[in-house]
Amino acid sequence: MKRIHESILETIGWTPIVRLKRIAPDSIHQYWAKLEFMNPGGSVKDRIGLHLIVQAEKRGQLKPGGTIIEATSGNTGLGLAMVSAVKGYCCIFVMPDKVSEEKQALLRAYGAQVVITPSALSPEDPGSYQSTALRLHQEIPNSFYADQFHNADNPLTHYQTTGPEIWEQMGGKLDAFVAGAGTGGTLSGAGKFLKEKKPTIKNVLADPMGSILFDLFYQGRPVDPTKPYKVEGVGQAMLPMNIHLDWYDEVLHVNDRDAFQLTRKIVSSEGICVGPSGGMAMAAALEYGQRLSKPANILVLFPDTGRGYLSKVFNDQWMRENELL
Ligand SMILES: Cc1ncc(COP(=O)(O)O)c(C=O)c1O
């Protein structure tokens, strides 16, 4: 393995997969986790940070001295900010106010400008983080709107990297791939690759309660109104182009309580410091496993590190205040 690199960008990808032995010791299944927080910027989003910028450069959408604008719950911002620091671009990130302060501070440390909008607004609202990012892009000359929700380079990144890595690392011995979806890039891209390799692999979406994806998948329309939830980065109030529901096999609903409690359990029992969206995906994976009668290899994607949520999931007072303990 090459251990000397020309820049930090060469260390993105090829994250390890670890077998989870203590989270469900009596299960007939083997559970595996792909540790995407071991990317250099701390999340799965480093992959698209690099790929979206490289593709935009190739297409002439991003020129020297340009500004990258994105609507992001933090991690995509970190990926883009890290790549921009190496390549010399400016960044402006727009995000909802529920994003943890640790993540906001880190973005500023990479030199990015952060714009905060209210969480409870629908995407069409002119004050939402999505609408605000688009407006800034229209107003600022020589800017590139990364648009992770609709940019097809996002799932393509995972089709070309995350999916092939999982396939090779597991030696093809995989029955189910479980992940949350924010933009859908991870599950759509990696899931598509894995299914092309082995059509019996099931792509399972873990969806937080309050998001519309569960209803859209099973009923074809939102039935229950969207509700605020605490897990960051996953679930949706709209259907972005990169969530390809017809590429998924199952959608499981997870409540905040299960997601946050399981996050803590993964850290304390497996020694893996994962963030709450990984705990949520794990909760869905365990529920999915309970439905299977034959032993299966189930892989869960852990998108980011728990270190970004010290004041939340690992803070008893915050957990109690939010009725999660
Ligand atoms: C913490 C976290 N987990 C999971 C995801 C979901 O990944 P994707 O956007 O590829 O669906 C995101 C996306 O923003 C995220 O920030």
Q: Residue 96: its pLDDT value, please?
A: 87
C-alpha torsion sign, points 212, 218, 219, 221: positive
- CA–centroid distance, 303 to ligand 1, in Å, is 6
Q: Residue 103: its pLDDT value, please?
A: 79
185/157 Cα distance (integer angstroms) = 8
Q: Residue 308: its pLDDT value, please?
A: 85
H helical segments located in 14-152: 45-59, 75-87, 101-109, 129-139
User: Which of the listed residues 51, 130, 161, 186 should we mutate to test ligand 1's pocket, taking the one with most ligand atoms within 8 A of CB?
Assistant: 186
Q: Residue 257: its pLDDT value, please?
A: 98
Protein residue with least CA distance to atom 2, ligand 1: 233
Q: Residue 73: its pLDDT value, please?
A: 65
Average pLDDT over residues 200-208: 98
Query: Which residues, judged by CB distance below 6 Å to any ligand atom, belong to the binding site of ligand 1?
Result: 73, 75-76, 180-186, 232-234, 275, 277, 303-304
Domains located in the chain, CATH noted? 8-38+162-321 (3.40.50.1100), 45-145 (3.40.50.1100)
pTM: predicted TM-score of the whole model, two decimal places = 0.95
Residues 6+ apart with CB under 8 A from 252: 204, 205, 206, 207, 214, 284, 287, 288
Question: Which residue has better confidence, 113 or 103?
Answer: 113
Average pLDDT over residues 215-220: 96
Average pLDDT over residues 225-251: 93
Ligand 1 atom, smallest distance to 232 CA: 1
- CA–centroid distance, 204 to ligand 1, in Å, is 15
Q: Residue 81: its pLDDT value, please?
A: 97
Q: Is the pLDDT of residue 67 over 90?
A: yes
Average pLDDT over residues 125-134: 92
The string of pLDDT tens digits covering residues 15-24 is 999 999 999 9
Ligand 1 atom, smallest distance to 75 CA: 16
| 3-class secondary-structure state, position 4 | coil
- Name the residue among 30, 110, 6, 84 with its Cα closest to residue 285: 30
- Name the residue among 186, 60, 49 with its Cα closest to residue 110: 49
Q: Residue 2: its pLDDT value, please?
A: 67
Question: Which residue has better confidence, 226 or 112?
Answer: 112
Ligand 1 atom, smallest distance to 277 CA: 3
Question: DSSP code of 117?
Answer: E
Average pLDDT over residues 73-85: 92
Q: Residue 149: its pLDDT value, please?
A: 92
Protein residue with least CA distance to atom 12, ligand 1: 233
Q: Is the pLDDT of residue 304 over 80?
A: yes
Protein residue with least CA distance to atom 15, ligand 1: 233
Where in the sequence numbering do the catalytic residues fall?
A: 45
Residue 217 binned pLDDT confidence (cut-offs 50, 70, 90) = very high
Residue 1 binned pLDDT confidence (cut-offs 50, 70, 90) = low
Q: Residue 123: its pLDDT value, please?
A: 79
- CA–centroid distance, 290 to ligand 1, in Å, is 25
* Helix, strand and coil percent figures for the chain, each rounded to 5: 40, 20, 40
Q: 43-52, 71-80, 121-130 — which one is most confidently predicted on average?
A: 43-52
- CA–centroid distance, 184 to ligand 1, in Å, is 8
The string of pLDDT tens digits covering residues 40-54 is 999 999 999 999 999
pLDDT averaged over every residue in the chain: 95
Beta-strand runs (E) in 148-257:
176-180, 202-208, 250-254
- CA–centroid distance, 74 to ligand 1, in Å, is 9
The string of pLDDT tens digits covering residues 156-165 is 999 999 999 9
